[in-house]
Amino acid sequence: MHVLLVEDEAKIASFVGLGLREQGFVVDHCANGNDGYELALERDYDVVLLDIMVPGKDGLAILKGLRQAGRNLPVILLTARNELDDRITGLNLGADDYLAKPFYVEELVARIHAVVRRSEGERQNILAIGPLQLDRITREVTSGGQRVELTGREFNLLEYLMRSPSRVLTRTQILEHVWGYDFNPATNVVDVAIQRLRKKLEPVAAAQWIESVRGVGYRFRPPEEKG
């Protein structure tokens, strides 16, 4: 999942970012509310983690602006224990959940999964194309009952490709969604990762489903869509 973390406390941001990345999340971080608001409007995130007290546009203003703009992506508020009124205001503005500091990353991960399940529905946690199935919660990939062992990054890459079958995705788009928006666009990391993913999909005959589009990027096309 692609997460936006809007948090100005460096230690908390580092702690949360590291913990989520270890669980396979892609995390973009902003320490300023104005920048966080723009990113939440422009980019396709699965969830936003929003500290209420951030410089620039504060967390409640960001939440209100997102909802007024029709952005219904899940939002979890990160609050201090004495901010009861702000938590109530946030829930009334459309926040999906809140978590009081300090907290354990394991609890945050569980809450992220919960709000995403509520927003997308249980069935959308399973991506299935032909015999290939990807479970976004257990992070397992199988084909005809055979498990495909992937690294966290390879899983995120396959998920992003499978979420948009037949759509051509540029290398820049893949970098932003799988590695984070501030990754160096001049690198060949996407091509290397695609090669490794294809190799791991070969035993289940799905490697050829990832097509190269010369000069642009890649697309995921199962046989029935190639006609």
pLDDT at residue 198, as a whole number? 92
Task: Work out the pLDDT band at 123, boundaries 50, 70, 90.
Answer: very low
Do 131 and 211 fall within a single domain?
Answer: yes
Eight-class DSSP state of 173: H
Q: What is the domain count for the chain?
A: 2
Give the contacts of 197 (CB within 8 A, at least 6 positions apart). Answer: 150, 154, 157, 158, 210
Eight-class DSSP state of 57: S
Across residues 23-36, what is the average pLDDT? 92
In the numeric block, which tokens belong to residue 210?
Answer: 């990832």
* Measured CA distances, 200 to 54, 99, 170 (Å): 43, 38, 22
Do 17 and 116 fall within a single domain?
Answer: yes
**Of the residues 93, 120, 147, the one at which a domain ends:** 120
The CA radius of gyration of the chain, in Å to the nearest whole number, is 19
Q: Read off the CATH number of the domain in which 213 is found.
A: 1.10.10.10
- Which tens digit of pLDDT belongs to each residue from 148-160? 999 988 999 999 9
Residue, of 84 and 20, whose pLDDT is higher: 20
In the numeric block, which tokens belong to residue 128?
Answer: 């299935």
Q: Are 51 and 8 in contact (CB under 8 A)?
A: yes
Task: Work out the pLDDT band at 37, boundaries 50, 70, 90.
Answer: very high
Do 107 and 135 fall within a single domain?
Answer: no
The pLDDT of residue 224 is above 90: no
Across residues 18-42, what is the average pLDDT? 92
Do 114 and 128 fall within a single domain?
Answer: no
Q: Read off the CATH number of the domain in which 29 is found.
A: 3.40.50.2300
Do 82 and 159 fall within a single domain?
Answer: no
- Which tens digit of pLDDT belongs to each residue from 74-119? 999 998 866 678 778 888 888 999 998 888 999 999 999 888 877 7
Q: Strands, DSSP E only, in 80-209?
A: 97-100, 126-129, 132-135, 140-143, 146-148, 169-170
In the numeric block, which tokens belong to residue 82?
Answer: 């004495």
- Cα(205)–Cα(162) distance, rounded to whole angstroms? 15
Q: State the DSSP H helix or E strand holding residue 182, giving kind and residue range, or none if neither.
A: none
Do 146 and 220 fall within a single domain?
Answer: yes
Do 94 and 144 fall within a single domain?
Answer: no
pLDDT at residue 154, as a whole number? 93
- Which tens digit of pLDDT belongs to each residue from 56-68? 999 999 999 998 8
- By the 10 Å C-beta count (0-12 exposed, 13-18 middle, 19+ buried), 99 is classed as middle
Do 96 and 180 fall within a single domain?
Answer: no
Give the contacts of 145 (CB within 8 A, at least 6 positions apart). Answer: none
Q: Which domain holds residue 110?
A: 2-120
pLDDT at residue 79, as a whole number? 86
Do 94 and 138 fall within a single domain?
Answer: no
Do 205 and 164 fall within a single domain?
Answer: yes
Residue, of 173 and 47, whose pLDDT is higher: 47
Q: For the chain, what percent of residues have pLDDT higher than 70?
A: 92
Eight-class DSSP state of 53: S
Query: Strand, helix or coil at 15?
Result: helix
Across residues 202-211, what is the average pLDDT? 84
Q: Look-up: residue for tokens 């590695």?
A: 179
Do 137 and 199 fall within a single domain?
Answer: yes
Q: Are 197 and 220 in contact (CB under 8 A)?
A: no
Residue 81 C-beta-side C-alpha neighbours within 13 Å = 3
**Of the residues 120, 141, 160, the one at which a domain ends:** 120
- Cα(105)–Cα(168) distance, rounded to whole angstroms? 35
**Of the residues 55, 87, 120, the one at which a domain ends:** 120
Do 87 and 197 fall within a single domain?
Answer: no
- Which tens digit of pLDDT belongs to each residue from 167-191? 899 988 888 888 876 666 667 899 9
